[in-house]
C-alpha cells in the first residue's frame, strides 16, 4: 500500500464506522419504514392504562374506524366524558383524601400536570368551567401510523371483517406510549391478504352484528387496483 493510500483507506473506514455509530444511536430509518416509531406526544396519554387496565374498547375513542376510512383522533371534548370527574390518578386522590381526613377538612381537587394540558386546550379554568380569557386550541398530536398518499386504506372494511385492531397496531394495551409495531409495508399487507384468502371459512362481521361465512369463491383482494388507484 502506497504512502498516500493508507490515509485515504483509514479516513473511509473512520467515516463508515462513524456513520454506523450515528445511525445506531438515532431514529434514522429507511424511507417508508417507521417500524418502532414512538414519538413523544403533547400530552402523555397511556394506552396501557386506558386500553389495558381499564379495558376500554378501541372504538369507544376511535369511533371513526367503523364509519370512515380513517380511525381519527378523538376530540378533546370526548375525553371530558371521563376527565370532567377524573382529574388525577387514583393514588394521588387517595393520598389527598387521607391527608384531608387527618387535617379535618374537605379533600381538594388535585389536577395532574398532563390533564391540566387537556383543560388548557379546552379553555377551562381551575373549576373546569369555560374561561372567557383563555383561547381554545387544538392538541397537536403527532401522527404515528402514516401510509403514503398513493395507498388507499379503509378502516371500516377491516373493522367490518372483524379484524382486531391489535392485528395491525400491536399490543396497544401494554404500550405506555403508542408506537408503530408493524412495518405497514406492501409485502406485510399482502401476506395478511393471502392468508385470509387461504381461509374460506373466515367470518366477516356485518354492521347489524351478525356474521357471514365466506364461500370458496370469496377472498381478500390482492389486485393492485384495490389499494392503488
The predicted pLDDT at position 220 comes to 83
The predicted pLDDT at position 16 comes to 54
pLDDT per residue rounded down to tens, the chain (229 residues): 555 565 565 566 556 565 555 445 544 444 457 899 999 999 999 999 999 999 999 999 999 999 999 999 999 999 999 999 999 988 999 999 999 999 999 999 899 999 999 999 999 998 999 999 999 999 999 999 999 999 999 999 899 888 999 999 999 999 999 999 999 999 999 999 888 865 555 555 444 444 444 444 456 888 899 899 7
Q: Which residues are CB-neighbours of 49 under 8 A, at least 6 positions away?
A: none
- Where along the chain do its domains lie? 37-73+141-227
CB count in 10 Å sphere of residue 168: 18
pTM for this prediction: 0.74
The predicted pLDDT at position 213 comes to 44
Amino acid at each position: 500500500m502506497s504512502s498516500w493510500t493508507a490515509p485515504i483507506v483509514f479516513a473511509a473506514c473512520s467515516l463508515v464506522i462513524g456513520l454506523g455509530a450515528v445511525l445506531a444511536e438515532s431514529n434514522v430509518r429507511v424511507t417508508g419504514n417507521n417500524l418502532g416509531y414512538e414519538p413523544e406526544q403533547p400530552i402523555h396519554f397511556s394506552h396501557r392504562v386506558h386500553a389495558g387496565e381499564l379495558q376500554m374498547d378501541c372504538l369507544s375513542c376511535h369511533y371513526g374506524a367503523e364509519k370512515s376510512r380513517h380511525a381519527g383522533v378523538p376530540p378533546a371534548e370526548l375525553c371530558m366524558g371521563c376527565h370532567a370527574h377524573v382529574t388525577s390518578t387514583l393514588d394521588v386522590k387517595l393520598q389527598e383524601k387521607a391527608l384531608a381526613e387527618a387535617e379535618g377538612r374537605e379533600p381538594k381537587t388535585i389536577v395532574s400536570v398532563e390533564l391540566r394540558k387537556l383543560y388548557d386546550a379546552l379553555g377551562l379554568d381551575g373549576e373546569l368551567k369555560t374561561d372567557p380569557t383563555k383561547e381554545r386550541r387544538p392538541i397537536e398530536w403527532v401522527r404515528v401510523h402514516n401510509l403514503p398518499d398513493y395507498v388507499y386504506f379503509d378502516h371500516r372494511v377491516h373493522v367490518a371483517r372483524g379484524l382486531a385492531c391489535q392485528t395491525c397496531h400491536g399490543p396497544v394495551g401494554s404500550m405506555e406510549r403508542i408506537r408503530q409495531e408493524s412495518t405497514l409495508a406492501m409485502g406485510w399487507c399482502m401476506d395478511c391478504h393471502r392468508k385470509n384468502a387461504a381461509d374460506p371459512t373466515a367470518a366477516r362481521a356485518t354492521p347489524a352484528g351478525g356474521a357471514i361465512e365466506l364461500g370458496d369463491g370469496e377472498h381478500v383482494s390482492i389486485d393492485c387496483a384495490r389499494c392503488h388507484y
